[in-house]
Amino acid sequence: MKLHSRSIATGIIISLVVATLVASCSHKYDALEYAYKVAGPNRGELEKVMNHYKDDPEKLAAARFLIENMPGHYSYKRTREIDEYYEIALQLTKSGLTPKEQRDSLLYLSDNRFFGLDQDIIQDARIITADYLIQNIDKAFDVWRNERWAQHVTFDEFCEWILPYKCVELQSLDCWRDTMRQTFWWNVAHMDYDDESYDSPFRAVNTIRSEIAWRVKPVGMYNRSGYPMRSASTLAHMTFGSCSDYVNLGVLTFRSYGIPVIIEETPSWGRYRAGHTWYTLLNDNGEEMRSEWDISSVPGSPFFPHQRIPKVYRQQYAINRERVPYHNNSVYKYPFNLFSHDVTDRYFNTTDVTVEIRKNVKIVEDYAYIATFNGHSSEWTLIDYGDVKKGKVTFKKMGRNILYIALGYDGENLVPLSWPFIIHKDGNIEYIRSDYKTTGSVDIHRKYYSSENVVAMRKRILGGSIQASNRPDFSDAVTLYKIDSLNIPDKIALSQNSKFRYWRYLSPDGSYGSIAELAFFDADTVMLKGTPICQDGVDTKNAWKAFDGDWLSNFETGDADGSWVGLDFNQPLEIKYVRIIPRSDDNDIHPGDVYELKYWDGYFWVTHSITKATDNLLHYDGVPNGALMWLHDVTRGWDERPFRIKDSVIEWW
């Protein structure tokens, strides 16, 4: 069974963490003394910090909190090399190269000149200096006690939401509080005073994040990008990055002003192959306000009201002591983050699910795993674990309306311990079992569920028409086909026998001409080539997008009404077929692609058939009733979801 892969660097990190926490299960465990032990020759630096605050009980408690939870926090060991890498990255941000060119340059450097940096790490406790830790503690207390946005924060909240000397692993141990305040100060310094919102953390966050967006002009990039920006100087000038990168930038900047924020994430969406990271603000009315995205979104807006989320974890500085036994005693040792704390039930209704393990399955540890479907880099992605007791395992606080499976380690592989199951909206659990004795048929138009946006974009072609003319202004246009349904074949047959030089798609009013692809064919279904044309005032480069073969590039204009795009064939031609591809996500059945239909037999995905699509619909016979199925595009693409047929309708999971 193919599972979500674990990187070499992650494996090193987990091994290191386990090695430092082997004693933490004991009730006699002294966290401070153990941190000193981990520090080794650097113990004196930590003791200096404790001695420095011996006459200040509150700061002493804060120092103790940081030091006791320091084991497991880590930095690059080769500091000279990572500093050199960051210096090059900073120069690139000022070089005039596009964000994509900067990313590609840093990726090349990461894979060649600086290869292996992320595999050579060291415990913070072994390298951090007393001066650095004291400086951070003093600055954190200064903003907590003096900034108007932190007056509502309790000491315990302060320890997690403002105090930590870093917000993410591998972050440089630099003067980030000073750097962020010195870089993003103007909007804060020029805030208009009022008697309503001047002291509001919510207003402060929006004031600062707007300045970050204005100064940095972030560009979202989610492909592999080399080593992430984790120094204050590079973060403050980061021209490209993922959501997590810009969340890190935002959190460090907000905390430098005493604004209480924390990072939260899901390892995987309920119906998507990847996870997501965001920040949460602790507002002065006690409300936790989620940002949904990074610095680009206002905290407190509706949080993904249509998304299904299996787990939400809060990335705290303190060690999650409940996870330590797993890291010490498990055999499989999946790299669950020791600083992640489960806050799923703070977001929505959850369910504790108990799974009875199959009698014929033997596992070699007292832990089992719960996973969601991935379908791209792996078949399943692990999101949590549970303790096995008396042949059963319980997974706590699971998100609802999601498909899961329980897995266990048999000494060589992760194997299914149960049939896939759905936790429905009401908390009821349904196992999905295939009926091999009876089979049925299924027609499939897509390999992925239709999002709200996809449906809205697709509907823009309703009312559109195919027209032909022998005049370039289409003053004598003849309408040959009117789109009155979204259920159209890949090649629409035209009955008109006349020849015309100019052919076009005329979009309905209000649709801005939106179309992904347009093609014309002769009687032998050979695609005909011509010169792209479109309405006056629209760049013909835009028109080419309707004929480039890319179903993700779209022709669209700024004119809501009367937009059109077509071809000039330079001579009158008779067209027999036309292809109209609405604007979408390119997950419809793509003629020419090879598809593999699979179904879950209880233990593996089994191939039902492999077919090359000749139309925009695939028909299959002999499909086991009730089966969980998966249509895989062998040719290309990423987004794929399992489904089943229920009441003659495809139900996506």
pLDDT tens digits for range 276-310: 999 999 999 999 999 999 999 999 999 999 999 99
617-638: average pLDDT? 93
pLDDT score recorded for residue 625: 87
Residue 442 sits in the same domain as residue 459: no
* Listed residues 546, 581, 616: the one ending a domain: 581
Distance CA 39, CA 124 (A): 8
pLDDT score recorded for residue 21: 53
Residue 573: phi and psi, rounded to 5, are -135, 150
**222 — pLDDT class (breaks 50, 70, 90):** confident
Neighbour tally for 144: CB within 10 Å: 22
CATH number of the structural domain spanning residue 381: 2.60.40
573-581: average pLDDT? 96
Residue 353: phi and psi, rounded to 5, are -115, 130
- Where is pLDDT greater, at 598 or 222? 598
pLDDT score recorded for residue 1: 64
- pLDDT tens per residue across span 223-262: 889 999 999 999 999 999 999 999 999 999 999 999 999 9
CB 185 within 8 A of CB 207: no
Residue 19 lies inside a defined structural domain of this protein: no
Task: State what percent of residues in the chain have pLDDT above 70.
Answer: 96
**2 — pLDDT class (breaks 50, 70, 90):** low
Residue 382 sits in the same domain as residue 461: no
* Structural tokens at position 385: 């674990």
- Where is pLDDT greater, at 377 or 401? 401
Task: Concatenate the DSSP letters of all residues of 466-489 into one string.
Answer: EEEESSTT-TT-EEEEE---S---
Q: Is the pLDDT of residue 547 over 50?
A: yes
> pTM for the whole thing?
0.91
Residue 409 sits in the same domain as residue 443: no
- Where is pLDDT greater, at 224 or 103? 103
Residue 9 lies inside a defined structural domain of this protein: no
Residue 16 lies inside a defined structural domain of this protein: no
pLDDT score recorded for residue 164: 98
- pLDDT tens per residue across span 165-208: 999 999 999 999 999 999 999 999 999 999 999 999 999 999 99
Residue 7 lies inside a defined structural domain of this protein: no
Residue 330 sits in the same domain as residue 298: no
Residue 15 lies inside a defined structural domain of this protein: no
Residue 446 lies inside a defined structural domain of this protein: yes
Residue 195 sits in the same domain as residue 92: yes
Distance CA 399, CA 403 (A): 10
Residue 175 lies inside a defined structural domain of this protein: yes
Return all residues near 247 (Cβ < 8 A) that are at least 6 apart. Answer: 263, 277, 278, 279, 291, 294, 295
Distance CA 477, CA 462 (A): 19
* Listed residues 557, 581, 605: the one ending a domain: 581
Residue 503 sits in the same domain as residue 608: no
Residue 4 lies inside a defined structural domain of this protein: no
Task: For 239-299, give the secondary structure using H, E and C.
Answer: CEECHHHHHHHHHHHHHHCCCCEEEEEECCCCCCCCCEEEEEEECCCCCEEECCCCCCCCC
Residue 254 sits in the same domain as residue 360: no
Residue 235 sits in the same domain as residue 357: no
Lowest mean pLDDT among 18-27, 385-394, 482-491: 18-27
Burial of 518 (0-12, 13-18, 19+ CB in 10 A): buried
Residue 554 sits in the same domain as residue 634: no
Residue 155 sits in the same domain as residue 194: yes
Residue 82 sits in the same domain as residue 206: yes
Residue 288 sits in the same domain as residue 399: no
* Structural tokens at position 58: 């509150």
Q: Please give the tally of structural domains in the chain.
A: 4
Q: Which of 17, 244, 235 is nearest to 121 (CA)?
A: 17
99-122: average pLDDT? 95
Q: Which of 154, 160, 138 is nearest to 66 (CA)?
A: 160
141-146: average pLDDT? 98
CB 266 within 8 A of CB 210: no
Q: For residue 167, what are the domain limits?
A: 25-315
